[in-house]
Amino acid sequence: MPRIRFIESSGAEHSVEAEAGSNLMVIATSALIPGIVADCGGNCSCATCHVYIDDAFLDSLSEKSSMEGDMLECAFDPQPNSRLACQVTVGEDVDNMVIRIPERQF
Amino acid sequence: MSEVHEDFDHNASEFRADPLPYYKQLREAGTGQSKNYNGLWYVPTYAEVTAMAHNTDGFSPAQGTMFPPMNDRPMLPMESDPPLHTEYRHMLMREFAPKAVAEWAPTIRETARSLLEDMFKEPPFDLGLDYAKLLPTAVICKMLGITFDPVFQQWVEDSVYRRISHPKEAREATDSVYSMFRELLPDRRANPGNDLVSLVLTSEIEGEVMDEERVLDFCFFLLVAGLDNTNFTIRALLHQMAIDQDLQKRLIENPDDIPAAVEESLRFFSPVIALGRHATQDVEFAGCPMRKGDAAVMLFGCANRDPQEFENPDEFDIDRFPNRHVAFGVGPHRCLGSNLARVEIAIAIEEVLKIFPGFKLAEGAETRYDDLGPLIVVAAE
Ligand code: HEM
Ligand code: FES
């Protein structure tokens, strides 16, 4: 199984095994990663599951919808590599992908 | 059919006075049907509440979410289904999303301070009645771009707080609020600003601007949706800090812990007890045969005390992690104002602690839970 590395804004790191095809927000919240709040439970309607994705892996992830793009503009400090974790499905080839967690979600 | 459900009524005063024993029995029995409100189903556990909230195909809020209903007009955006609901949320989210709300924080703080100053002018005072209750109204008025004055506060209070005890007065007050918005719309339409009323007036839904009645339904619900809940949570947390001085001391010394205290208050006090849905088809839910059109309510406060989800659920513990409570609901209809409410509650607490560190309950203070939450008269030390 691929391993994903979550890094908090403080630098604290958590390495988590992820099954290909699973949802990034579910992976993070099941592993109790701090800082991924995911208030709405995956409905693309709260913007509190905001993460920064390792550039090298951006293209390998499920595509960003226009709704997700709009929600991301409502989050704190969105960057070109921002995604809402609940809208991301991870593939086979994400071993060692680094996900950075923003300083704040709300 | 289990006996606990059969006679259960979420509005009954015996239940409101002491909900925990009911909650325990309801959760142990799982979802079940009551004789009240034409056979209302009660959904008590964390897993069942979450399942119903996420199942938008099977359960719709569009035919009403409150039992008995608040009035005969839809509460928007809550009482609507996708794809309309998705468009409504899209229209509003920019103003209620985390970043937008953070921009309101200085205004909220200023408002809190000025309410506290006014309160000081007329001792003795009650932090609940003279502060907690006024702050959410003052803030949402600013967001809507309308004037906050005593008459208006009275209408809002009558329509929100007296809807169960004095339905007739509440209804009249609601009509007054609708009329106030109705009179203001022509001018707002001609001179739209940066406020929520202008946003709703000018936004296109399904390709066109909305008719006046629908705009008014939005105005009314955006005004009242968060008032009693936010007020209740501020009061309840102030009360908790008054009876638990260690907690208060910790929050004075570590203001960074206030957001965690706010989350735990939301879980622990769960201001919204029940909101409902109607089954859109015959369906088996949690082992229960529901018929198309049957009404069911999710018991958020009950789910928030579910030991399957929360360790020692009846303990107030601000270090709880994770704290994935459903005080704001969950799923597509999860509270639009949650970020606003969190910021308001946190600021309300911070400002009180700056002025009254070490506050206590006044001698003989009445602490009963009614529609308003605990009444607290505060004595400063
Ligand atoms: C502590 C304070 C609050 C609590 C506990 C609370 C609770 C809730 C709950 C449980 C729902 C879910 C409805 C459902 O699933 O049917 C909801 C929806 C909603 N709340 Fe709040 N609320 C609070 C404050 C606010 C504030 C300040 C606003 C500001 C306008 C607000 C606006 C709304 C709106 C518009 C909806 C409907 C969302 C939708 O259906 O998409 N709430 N709230
Ligand atoms: S969990 Fe709410 S937007 Fe992702």
Q: What is the mean pLDDT of each run of 10 residues along chain B (381 residues)?
A: 83 89 97 96 98 96 90 92 95 93 97 94 84 94 92 87 84 94 97 97 97 97 92 92 95 97 97 95 97 98 98 98 96 95 98 92 70 49 41
User: Which tokens in the block code for residue B157?
Assistant: 């209070």
Q: Domain range spanning residue B44? A: 3-380
Mutational test site, ligand 1, from B200, B338, B372, max ligand atoms within 8 Å of CB: B338
- With CB atoms and an 8 Å threshold, state whether B93 touches A45: yes
Contact indicator for A17, A1 with CB cutoff of 8 Å: yes
Strand segments, DSSP code E, in chain B are: 32-33, 41-43, 59-60, 204-205, 208-209, 274-279, 283-285, 288-290, 295-299, 360-361, 369-370, 373-374, 378-379
- Tell me how far apart the alpha carbons of residues B162 and B144 are, in angstroms, rounded to a whole number: 23
From the list B257, B44, B37, B226, the residue with the least C-alpha distance to B141 is B226
- Tell me how far apart the alpha carbons of residues B224 and B173 are, in angstroms, rounded to a whole number: 12
Q: What is the four-CA torsion angle of A76, A78, A84, A87, rounded to 10 degrees?
A: 150
What phi-psi label fits residue A68: left (phi over 0), alpha (psi between -120 and 50 degrees) or beta?
alpha
CB count in 10 Å sphere of residue B57: 11
Q: Which CATH number fits domain A3-100: 3.40.50.2000, 2.170.190.11, 3.30.460.20, 3.10.20.30?
A: 3.10.20.30
- Tell me how far apart the alpha carbons of residues B18 and B9 are, in angstroms, rounded to a whole number: 13
- Tell me how far apart the alpha carbons of residues B319 and A18 are, in angstroms, rounded to a whole number: 28
Q: How close is the Cα of B206 to the center of ligand 2, in Å?
A: 24
CB within 8 A of B220, min separation 6: which ones?
B73, B75, B174, B177, B178, B181
Q: Is the CB of A28 under 6 A from ligand 2?
A: no
| B105 near A CB under 8 A | no
Identity of residue B89: R
- Alpha carbons within 13 angstroms on the beta-carbon side of residue B350 total 20
ipTM for the complex shown: 0.88
The predicted structure's pLDDT at residue B381: 41
Q: Is the pLDDT reported for residue A16 higher than 50?
A: yes
Q: Is the CB of A84 under 6 A from ligand 2?
A: yes
Distance of CA B287 to the CA centre of its chain: 30
CATH number where B141 lies:
1.10.630.10
- Number of structural domains chain B divides into: 1
- Tell me how far apart the alpha carbons of residues B242 and A61 are, in angstroms, rounded to a whole number: 50
Mutational test site, ligand 2, from A30, A33, A40, A99, max ligand atoms within 8 Å of CB: A40
Q: Is the pLDDT reported for residue A4 higher than 90?
A: yes
